[in-house]
Structure formats: structure tokens, C-alpha cells
Amino acid sequence: MDSRITEQPSHYDHLESMPVGEIIAGINHESSQVADVIQHALPQIETLITTIEKKLRAGGRLFYCGCGTGGRLCVLDTIEVQNTYTSPPDMIQAIFPGGINDITNTIESKEDNTEDGWRQLMDKQVSKKDIVVGFSASGTTPFVLSTLQHCQRQGITTASVVNNPNAPISRASDIPVVLITGPEFVTGSTRMKGGTSQKMILDMISTTVMIRLGRVSGNRMINAKIINHKLLERAIRTFMERHPDFHDDDKVKALITQYGSVANTERALGLSVE
């Protein structure tokens, strides 16, 4: 039997005989335990995020590295952080087997490629200024492991998020984060609790870093790109709440549309918020 906890048999059986209510209750119960697991790892997560912040402030970049569910979540985070905080496209990037254009490709055999990740990083001129964070539920994925090992040999800071103890990928990491989420509801289906824990960590990383880099004011996304009607309406509300002297919705709409974000509009008009 595989010794990895994420591959151990589910605590539930005869799933095909369960009614819908019982299935979803079981999935929900398992998922509800993820936050408690992360709670115990907060000191390691704090160290990771603090290191990332220092790297970015010094002009370095953050590279996520992952396959399957974890890799796709990493790619998603790089896209969303640009839209939410207008971060530079190269500040946070993802390394995915075959390149991010393969994100919808279900040929998972590419995760066994031990040179592709490092080749992609070399193409992006990775350096000691950067940090590379690997995501792997198993903690053994060859694509991620070999990429981190290459980085360590070159003196590049590495970190990882895994869901098994004593994982090879943790040993290839300067900052390992270990989240023991246990067996999955469907045996081995690490897109469930494993994936949920990875998404939560990605949210913590990108959100905290963007807050620390000044891309949030109070609790508002003042740098969000205005790319649809919903975001425009939110920006108008945010601006008018921050600047009560502005009463004309149409005028504020024109200003936000012209300058592209709340933050840009405030800078253009020389406005400050107490």
C-alpha cells in the first residue's frame, strides 16, 4: 500500500450506494477540516509570505510551479492577481508542464518530465533575486521536485506546499509548508481536500502580498482593473465612499473610465484619504 496519506483509503465506502445527501454531507465534512489544518501551519505560511514580499520589494519575482489541479490553481492565481490588483504581468508567474497554454490539456504524463520546468525558468531568466514555490499534494511530483532541485543547485530560494509528511519536495525546499489533510473522500482524488488547501494558500499568498505592497487601501481593491460593468459599478461606489464630496455618479463614472481604476483616479486628481 502506498505510504502517502493522500493515497490512503477513504474513510467512506460503498460511495456508489449512497444517496446524494449523504455524499455531499461527507464531502462537506471532509472539506470543513482543511481550515483547521492550515491553522496549524500559519507560522510556516507567514515565513513564506514574508520571504516572498522581501523578494518582490527587491525587484525579484514569484514563480509558482505545479501540475494537475495544483498547477492549474497556480495559473488561475496569476491571472486573477493581475485583474484584482493590476500587478505587473511578470511579478507572479506560473510554471506548468508544457507551458501555461497547456492548462486545459489532460495529458498528465507531462508531470513526469524532469527538465521542462527548469527549462521554462531558464527561458524566463530566473535568478537568485526570485523565489520558486512548488505545489504538490503528493509531495513527489517529478516535474516539481526536479525544478526545485535545479533551483537549489543554483542558489535560488525555494518553497513548497505539500499534503504529505517527509516529502521529497519538502526536502528540496528552503521553506516547506506541510498540510496534512488526510485521505480524500474518493481515495486518491487530491483535487478535493488537497486542492482546497492549495487554493486557500494561494489566496493567502497573493492577497497578503498585494496588501503589503500597497495595492489595497482600507479594505478596498482600489487597483482593480475596470474590465466589466460590475467592476466599474464597484469602483464608482468605492470612490464615492472614499470621497463623499463627489455626488455626481456620471461624473465619477467618466473619471474612473478615463483613468482606469480608483487609485489612478485619486492620483490624477491629487486626492488623499484620511
Report the C-alpha gap between 71 and 49 in whole angstroms. 19
Length of the chain in terms of residues written: 274
pLDDT at 109: 61
| Active site residues per annotation | 80, 111
With beta carbons less than 8 A apart as the criterion, state whether 10 and 186 touch: yes
Q: What would the pLDDT profile of 7-42 be if each residue is shown by its tens digit?
A: 999 999 999 999 999 999 999 999 999 999 999 999
With beta carbons less than 8 A apart as the criterion, state whether 56 and 91 touch: yes
Q: Where are the domains of the chain?
A: 5-212, 229-269
Q: What would the pLDDT profile of 79-121 be if each residue is shown by its tens digit?
A: 999 999 999 999 999 999 988 877 777 666 678 888 999 999 9
For residue 50, pLDDT over 80 is answered with yes
Report the C-alpha gap between 20 and 12 in whole angstroms. 14
With beta carbons less than 8 A apart as the criterion, state whether 198 and 70 touch: yes
The CATH number of the structural domain formed by 5-212 is 3.40.50.10490
Q: From the centroid of its chain, how far is CA 44? A: 16
Distances (CA, A) of 246 to 57, 100, 241: 34, 43, 9
Answer whether 0.75 is exceeded by the pTM.
yes
Beta-strand ranges (E) seen in 29-130 are 62-66, 92-95
Closest by CA position to 192, among listed 28, 60, 13: 28
